[in-house]
Chain A
Amino acid sequence: MSAQTTTKPAAKPSAQAVDSPLPRTLTGSEAVCEALVAEGVTTIFGYPGGAIMPIYDALYGYGDRLEHILVRHEQGGIHAAQGYARTSGRTGVVFATSGPGATNLVTGLADAMIDSTPVVCITGQVFAHLLGTDAFQETDVINITTPVTKWNYQVTDATELPSVLAKAFYIAGSGRPGPVLIDITKNAQLQSFEYAGYTPCRHIRSYRPKPVVRMPYVEEAAALINAAERPFVIFGQGVILGRAEAEFKAFLDKSGIPAAWTILGLSALPTDHPLNVGMLGMHGNYGPNLLTNECDVLIAVGMRFDDRVTGRLDKYAKQAKVVHLDIDPAEIDKNVKATVPVWGDCKETLPLLTTLVQPRRHDAWVKRFHDCMVQETDAVIREELNPTGDVLTMGEVIRELNECSGGDAVIVTDVGQHQMVACRYARFNDSKSNVTSGGLGTMGFALPAAIGAKYGAPGRQVVAIIGDGGFQMTLQELGTIMQFGVDVKILILNNNFLGMVRQWQQLFHDRRYSSVDIESPDFVALARAYRIEGACVSERKDLSEAVRRMMSHQGPYLLEVMVGKENNVFPMVPQGCGVAEIRLR
């Protein structure tokens, strides 16, 4: 994607010695690059600085194998790595320097932690003898990042690097994935040592990524499902992370059970699958929320009963027996008590379950969902997608996008109203196509994540849908898009408000619009300053053509659409209410 890699000089002598017999002498920094190459890493998102300079020096000699994407802020680096991981299914890699470089990663680490995204961050650190002395750009990165990493470790001796990095990649990518941070002191980066080669990690005695599947529980689950009259499947990102989309579909097709998704489970099942009944949660579809409290067996697959999905817990699916499939034992019974816990990788447990369930159809029950969808269409969807009023709606923009993409695009969303609308209405044919900040709700996520998403899926169209607020949080990454010519389409849905907060203020704070009126620069002119083409539309007659022009444009493009200022996202389960108290308006 970049012309930069091809113009790099040949590797330095030490790095050229790749084919020489082992052991050979390498620096810690070279060992880091060797580890990345051995792990199959091709793309690194990062930003250099004093304490990581030896690694960047070594990287200079690996330009033919490791492409480094220079972001404009470390937060952008880690969000890009997250986007990369989400579309590629591989572990994203980030470099940052000590002190502020490392602290700028914290938001992304928290985001990756709560959304189970595999990322390995390598941070430089001051010399080991300076640790604890308040040295220049010294921060206690290990302790700052402990709550937001699956694992972290400080390396002060280069000989540890090969095995520690092997552990890092194993931990980040296995089991329930998550972010790992390795902090490497400068002396360890510079230190030469006898390098005995790189051995990938396959086992850590204190870590069991894949639990033993307990057959009795699978059998109990199957018995419950077979006896059910109104079974309902709710699924999350576990299906995608477990690469179990086919197994999941086979389970649905045989059992005939309607299925609804969490925001992170979106795209695991094609939009047009007959048993896909829509979205769960606060701004999810009417039927999935309402009928959660009418089903008799609730089958949760790779999801964690987030409070935005369940609403008030003591009014959530109280009538139902709950079967919970999850790879993480800490999720079982955490929020919703499972009648039958099926602890395991759903790639393994789903086929076992499919074998045991009877082929069924639940036509009358599925029709309940369709009836609800008719109600929702009458109350909300028709007007949102094909508005009769003058102002543009977010929904009609997404509809235009669907018509243009045919459901084949990767959709990256930021956080807020546009995110809910995009997730509700965007169509998906393939898995790993929806990239969003679900658990943490990180505004500013989408633009950098879209950069990474494109590197993770270079053959696919990537569209970042962002609000006017979130865009202004990380818009400096336009520089990265410019420099590397990253072909992402940026669709700003501008309502001149921090819309979701405004919606809450309208509904629950008596229209006291406190600090939500946000002014924006001329986004198209801003894009032009970064040599990115763009357009702005505010009238319906121009919308379709503008979307088509954006999608067919070669290279990055920014389209700003001025939408209704005070439109709300409905349906809505108000905070503190049960899912059955969902409001259509």
Chain B
Amino acid sequence: MKQEYTITVYTENQVGLLNRIAIMFSRRKINIESLNTSPSEIEGIHRFTIVVNETEDVVRKVVRQIEKQIDVLKAYFNTNDEIVWQELALYKVPTEEIAEKAKVERLLREHGARAVVIRRDFTIFETSGHREETDKLIEVLGPFGLIEFVRSARVAIIKHSSGFHEKLKEFEEAAPRGTTPEASPAGSREGVFSM
């Protein structure tokens, strides 16, 4: 059964790696729903957050193929209930409309939004949350002449992850130990495929 999976990839910060990871999906004709790259908790280590809609079997195979790329340290995949995730959205509306017709304060309160810029000609609101929440605000602001909308990629934290510091120490040793417990929850056998 296909469902949303969030893939977290710890990598070196290397030119061309984005392409190397992206083609792991495109070669199987899998659409990337969302892709974010950012620094991680460790300096010099990058973190990709990728969302795809696929079956667990396919996701597991793709994740293993990603993980064997030379500049990739580790890749995890999780279902939505195993992660805490957010997306950020910006909305640009005409100030005149919004000030006259909307109960702006209530609107902001109800949607956890805040005004980032207020100008005479337009106002920009910002909110973050799950897809439904940011979508809801589009609906609400629509009648007031939404001029522009943009939403960021998903960023996610794996609930039971203890971070990458310990894992990295192990990677930096010339001889692997393979003793650090796995953060990946996907099946008891996953341990066999850890470094």
- List chain A positions with a Cβ less than 8 A from chain B: 142-143, 146-147, 150-154, 171, 202-208, 210-212, 214, 217, 328-330, 332-334, 341, 343
Contact = CB atoms under 8 A, between A and B. Distances in A.
A334 B61 contact: yes
B16 A147 contact: no
B195 interface: yes
Contacts of A207: 70
B18 to A, nearest CB: 10
A212 B177 contact: yes
Contacts, number: 68
A143 B19 contact: yes
A152 B19 CA distance: 12
A171 B70 CA distance: 8
A146 B23 contact: yes
Contacts of A328: 68
Given A211-B176, A212-B176, A329 B193 contact: yes
B73 A206 contact: yes
A141 to B, nearest CB: 11
A214 B192 contact: yes
5 contacts: A150-B70, A205-B168, A205-B171, A211-B195, A329-B68
B161 interface: no
Chain B interface size, as a band, is 20 to 34
B78 to A, nearest CB: 19
B193 A343 contact: yes
Contact of B192 (A142, A171, A205, A217): A217
B64 A147 contact: no
A152 B60 CA distance: 25
Given A151-B70, A206-B12, A212 B195 contact: yes
B158 interface: no
B61 A330 contact: yes
Contacts of B177: 212
Contacts of A203: 174
Contacts of A202: 174
A153 B195 CA distance: 24
A147 B23 CA distance: 7
A309 B189 CA distance: 26
Contacts of A211: 176, 178, 193, 195
B19 A208 contact: no
A341 B178 contact: no
Given A206-B71, A207-B70, A330 B64 contact: yes
A397 to B, nearest CB: 40
Contacts of B16: 142-143, 146, 152-154
Interface string B12-50: 100110011001000100000000000000000000000
Given A146-B19, A212-B195, A329-B68, A206 B11 contact: yes
B155 interface: no
A116 to B, nearest CB: 12
A143 B18 CA distance: 11
B113 interface: no
Given A211-B195, A212-B195, A330-B61, A205 B70 contact: no
Top 5 nearest A-B pairs by Cβ distance? A212-B178, A330-B64, A329-B193, A151-B70, A205-B171
Contacts of B11: 206
A120 B101 CA distance: 67
Given A150-B70, A211-B176, 14 more contacts: A146-B20, A204-B70, A206-B171, A212-B176, A212-B178, A214-B191, A217-B192, A329-B67, A329-B68, A329-B193, A330-B61, A333-B61, A334-B64, A341-B192
Contacts of A210: 176
